[in-house]
């Protein structure tokens, strides 16, 4: 391998597909990132050796090190890609949607995206704690950003019982706990079933219990109360 | 010289508070405990095993305190409030154990994630006891207690991250508000915000 240092990457050679070098590099980077996500989801971060990641990604070790400094660097890139993907699903689902039903639509998009990609769900929700303190802090921030995206249409509330800061933390904590609970139990496919619980949790601080229950569960349930 | 098993777990907790867990070596733990490598190895196969034992001791101590307070009050949410104040005081009195318990990376292994499930299960049971006093227990969302535990854990973690800038005892009414609301509704939850801490 070391003797080939000065040659072009061996995978996806220019001649076969005619892609510009930038695109080949971008494509390889994306393959390594998804290789990282798959490998971490299957084996856990500690056992996700670079050898396994590059085998999954079908790139050479040299290409890996041309793209990332080390395993942690690659993990970080994979984490950011995953977060951006999920945040974009939430944002793409809600434009034009009115508050508070936008919360339901956004949460539904998030849960469906996670359920449709079990490895991505496990990578995003469960793996950060096994990597290190820095990623744990980043994950907390990312969950807060997701919550902020979900409640972005909320009108300014007056007379709120708890500070806005605490409210966002509390929602992020509830969302993390419920989703990780399903994924840890190997029931990632059941994530969409959490939708009414989460809609009620998210809306209650903003619109009160009655309206939260109505949007979350429909009129039938409300009439029983 | 024999230092005893808990000397090692205590040394591990103290050193983690002072310097962080990741770089810590068994040699440093042994030196702080005033014991020997041979004795350490008789108790623990690794630093990780010693950390698991430290978490087990921490959980046992914490649960004795919190559940004791919870069970001293017959009626929910008084019982939960008593437990919450006991928890907050435990945090104030045990800053090192608290910091240790808040290290999420410690909870990531298979052995420790079972411990976390056990600990969270205790908190969930104390919160979900609210179901028995709810006007319509079936109307409380199935995972209400789980999400409340997640919320409170995250808010407390933020308190601790900011280096004790916020007093957990002063935060109890807010936590109680979050816990009571799904079971007894907004009015009962808001009452929690006006109840002063117990005087003792």
For residue range B69-117, list pLDDT tens digits in order.
Answer: 999 999 999 999 999 999 999 999 998 998 898 888 888 887 888 888 8
Q: Do B158 and A170 touch (CB under 8 A)?
A: no
Q: Which residue has the higher pLDDT, A96 or A2?
A: A96
DSSP string, A96-161: TPPTTHHHHHHHHHHHHHHHH-HHHHHHHHTGGGGT-HHHHHHHHHHHHHHHHHHTTTPPPPSS-S
Instruction: Dump pLDDT digits (tens) for B51-66.
Output: 999 999 999 999 999 9
Q: What are B28's two structure tokens?
A: 């440093």
Check pLDDT > 80 for residue B122: yes
Q: Do B136 and A224 touch (CB under 8 A)?
A: yes
Please name the residues in contact with B146: beta carbons below 8 A apart, sequence gap of 6 or more.
A177, A178, A181, B124
The shortest CB-CB distance from A178 to any of B139, B150, B158 is to: B150
pLDDT tier at A1, thresholds 50, 70, 90: very low
Q: What are B37's two structure tokens?
A: 């490598």
- What pLDDT, on a 0 to 100 scale, did the predictor assign at position A221? 60
Check pLDDT > 60 for residue B68: yes
- What pLDDT, on a 0 to 100 scale, did the predictor assign at position A8? 44
- What pLDDT, on a 0 to 100 scale, did the predictor assign at position B1? 63
Interface test with chain A among B118, B143, B172, by most A beta carbons within 10 Å:
B143
Q: Are B62 and B90 in contact (CB under 8 A)?
A: yes
Name the H helices within B34-167. Answer: 37-43, 47-71, 78-93, 95-101, 110-128, 144-161
- What pLDDT, on a 0 to 100 scale, did the predictor assign at position B162? 59
Check pLDDT > 80 for residue A165: yes
The shortest CB-CB distance from A209 to any of B108, B177, B185 is to: B185
Distance of alpha carbon A210 from the chain centroid: 30
Name the minimum distance, in Å, from the CA of A162 to any CA of chain B: 7
- What percent of chain B shows pLDDT beyond 90? 66
Mean pLDDT of A140-147: 94
Mean pLDDT of chain B: 91
Instruction: Dump pLDDT digits (tens) for A82-119.
Output: 999 999 999 998 887 888 889 999 999 999 999 999 99
pLDDT tier at A5, thresholds 50, 70, 90: very low
The shortest CB-CB distance from B104 to any of A129, A171, A224 is to: A129
Q: Are A168 and A144 in contact (CB under 8 A)?
A: yes
H or E element in which residue B10 lies: helix B5-19
Which chain A residue is nearest to residue B179, measuring alpha carbons? Answer: A170
Mean pLDDT of B163-171: 77
> Residue A188 to residues A82, A105, A111, A126: CA-CA distances in angstroms?
16, 19, 9, 11
- Compute the residue count for chain A: 225
Q: Give the number of C-alpha atoms closer than 13 A to the C-alpha of residue B9, restricted to the C-beta side.
A: 18
Could you give the 3-state DSSP secondary structure of residue A215? helix
Name the H helices within chain A. Answer: 14-17, 21-43, 50-57, 61-67, 71-93, 101-116, 118-125, 133-150, 164-184, 195-217, 219-224
- What pLDDT, on a 0 to 100 scale, did the predictor assign at position A224? 47
- Compute the residue count for chain B: 200
**Rounded Cα–Cα distance for residues B49 and A26 (Å):** 43
**Rounded Cα–Cα distance for residues A216 and A196 (Å):** 5
Query: Which residues of chain A does B138 touch, with a Cβ-Cβ cutoff of 8 Å?
Result: 224
Name the pTM for this structure: 0.85
**Rounded Cα–Cα distance for residues A204 and B55 (Å):** 35
Q: Do A170 and B142 touch (CB under 8 A)?
A: no
Mutual angle of helices B144-161 and B110-128, in 10-degree steps: 110
Interface test with chain A among B119, B147, B161, B189, by most A beta carbons within 10 Å:
B147
- What pLDDT, on a 0 to 100 scale, did the predictor assign at position B177? 94
Mean pLDDT of chain A: 86
Query: A19-28, B69-78, B190-199: which has the minimum mean pLDDT?
Result: A19-28
Mean pLDDT of A20-44: 88
Query: A121-125, B158-162, B188-192, B193-197: which has the minimum mean pLDDT?
Result: B158-162
């Amino acid at each position: 391998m070391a003797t080939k240092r000065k040659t072009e990457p061996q995978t996806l050679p220019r001649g076969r597909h005619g892609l510009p070098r930038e695109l080949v590099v971008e494509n390889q980077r994306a393959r390594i990132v998804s290789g990282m996500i798959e490998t971490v989801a299957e084996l856990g971060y500690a056992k996700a050796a670079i050898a396994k990641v590059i085998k999954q990604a079908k790139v050479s070790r040299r290409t890996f090190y041309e793209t990332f400094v080390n395993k942690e660097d690659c993990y970080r890139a994979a984490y950011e890609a995953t977060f951006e993907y999920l945040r974009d699903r939430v944002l793409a689902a809600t434009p034009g949607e009115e508050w508070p039903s936008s919360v339901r639509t956004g949460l539904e998009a998030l849960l469906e995206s996670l359920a449709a990609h079990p490895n991505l769900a496990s990578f995003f929700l469960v793996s950060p704690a096994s990597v290190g303190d820095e990623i744990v802090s980043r994950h907390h921030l990312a969950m807060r950003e997701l919550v902020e995206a979900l409640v972005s249409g909320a009108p300014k509330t007056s007379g709120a019982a708890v500070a806005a800061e605490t409210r966002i933390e509390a929602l992020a904590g509830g969302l993390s706990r419920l989703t990780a609970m399903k994924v840890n139990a190997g029931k990632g496919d059941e994530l969409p079933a959490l939708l009414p619980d989460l809609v009620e949790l998210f809306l209650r601080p903003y619109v009160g219990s009655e309206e939260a229950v109505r949007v979350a569960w429909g009129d039938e349930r409300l009439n029983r109360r | 010289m024999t230092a005893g098993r808990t000397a090692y777990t205590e040394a591990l907790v103290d050193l983690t508070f002072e310097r962080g867990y990741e770089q810590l070596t068994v040699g440093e733990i042994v030196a702080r405990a005033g014991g020997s490598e041979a004795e350490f190895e008789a108790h623990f196969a690794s630093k990780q095993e010693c950390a698991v034992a430290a978490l087990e001791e921490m959980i046992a101590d914490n649960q004795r305190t919190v559940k004791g307070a919870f069970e001293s009050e017959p009626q929910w949410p008084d019982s939960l409030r008593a437990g919450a104040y006991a928890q907050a005081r435990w945090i104030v009195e045990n800053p090192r154990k608290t910091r240790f318990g808040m290290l999420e990376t410690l909870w990531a292994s298979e052995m420790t994630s079972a411990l976390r499930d056990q600990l969270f299960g205790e908190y969930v049971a104390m919160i979900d006891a609210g179901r028995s006093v709810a006007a319509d227990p079936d109307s409380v969302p199935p995972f209400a207690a789980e999400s409340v535990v997640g919320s409170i854990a995250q808010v407390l973690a933020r308190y601790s991250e900011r280096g004790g800038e916020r007093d957990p005892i002063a935060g109890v009414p807010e936590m109680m508000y979050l816990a009571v609301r799904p079971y007894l509704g907004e009015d009962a939850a808001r009452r929690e915000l006006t109840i002063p801490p117990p005087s003792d």
